[in-house]
Amino acid sequence: MSSLRFVQAKPFVVLGVVVLAWLLLPVVVKSFLRAGFAEFQAPIAVTASYARDLQTYWAERAHSRNELIEAGRDLAHVYAGYEFQAQQTDELRQEVSRLEQLLRLPSNPNYRLEPARVVRRDLSGWWQQLVIRKGSNYGIVPGAPVVFSGGVVGRIREVHATTAVVDLLSSSRVRLAANIEEDTRPVSYQGGDNRSLSPARGLVDFVPPDIVTYSSNPRRLVTSSLGGVFPAGLTIGYITRLETSPDGMFKNGDVALDPRLSELTEVTVLVPLNAE
């Protein structure tokens, strides 16, 4: 009778042992298991990403020569414009450096640009993350800012051997100091308002009460130099709605994020030079 009872209870005893073992397991072992299983699965995601690239390559090969010539001509125009801007940027950098020396100011942090392909987009109601195809093999470090042509993408959370995980700006885990364009007072930005079948939105807090915004003319929200890792002035999104907070001292509201955030295929990691 008692052996029959034990047989019936055996699965629950096993479950209890597993739960207890997990709770008592040192954090180092848990971290090792997590890293090990992540590395074990990384080649699957990376292979799928290379297969997608190959698919794109063959799809693009179907373009006619005339289309390629036209695209090349358009690119040459864009390239000429960027070359001029690059010269101006160099001059401005020298000017900034001269002023820093003159005024004995601490210099701004410098970054190395590391472009990376997106291996996997993982955008749920719980978390919003991207996996990119570069990791510690390219000197990427946790906390490094990630950007694209539309502004901020997010920041690196985890770094593996050949991949890295980016917490997207729309994730509720991303909170950063920001500025409203043409206003130096800091506000707080947090992601997390991700609705179904629509682009992600963020939330802005501690907005000074004199700031107003209109849906027809939204105010641009940019990164602040107080934010730590992000260079100042990068676009976060546009404030579409503001309302007075319950305490009446500040305003809070919604931030429309770039809809391209959920369809990114390539991003740039700003690797801090002093971290290398």
Residue appearing with tokens 């410098």: 110
Q: How far is the CB of 59 from another protein (least distance, A)?
A: 15
Number of other CB atoms surrounding residue 109 within 10 Å: 15
The DSSP H or E segment spanning 103 is: helix 65-103
Residue 192 or 231: which CB sits closer to another protein? 192
Here the contacts of 236-239 (C-beta below 8 Å, separation 24 or greater) are 236/151, 236/152, 236/169, 236/176, 236/178, 236/189, 236/202, 237/151, 237/169, 237/201, 237/202, 239/180, 239/204, 239/207, 239/213
User: Which is nearer to another protein, 62 or 197 (by Cβ)?
Assistant: 197
Cβ proximity to another protein: between 81 and 142 the closer is 142
Instruction: Indicate the residue among 30 and 93 with the shorter CB distance to another protein.
Output: 30
Query: Min. distance of Cβ 138 from another protein in angstroms?
Result: 20
Q: Number of helices (H) and strands (E), helices first, in the chain? A: 3, 12
Shortest reach from residue 61's CB to another protein, in Å: 22
Chain CA centroid to CA 147, Å: 7
Of the pair 8, 216, the CB lying nearest another protein is at: 8
Residues in touch with another protein (CB under 8 A): 8, 10-12, 14-15, 18-19, 22, 30, 33-38, 40-41, 44-45, 48, 120-127, 129, 131, 157-158, 165, 167, 172-173, 190, 192-200, 203, 262-263
CB of 136 to another protein, least distance (A): 16
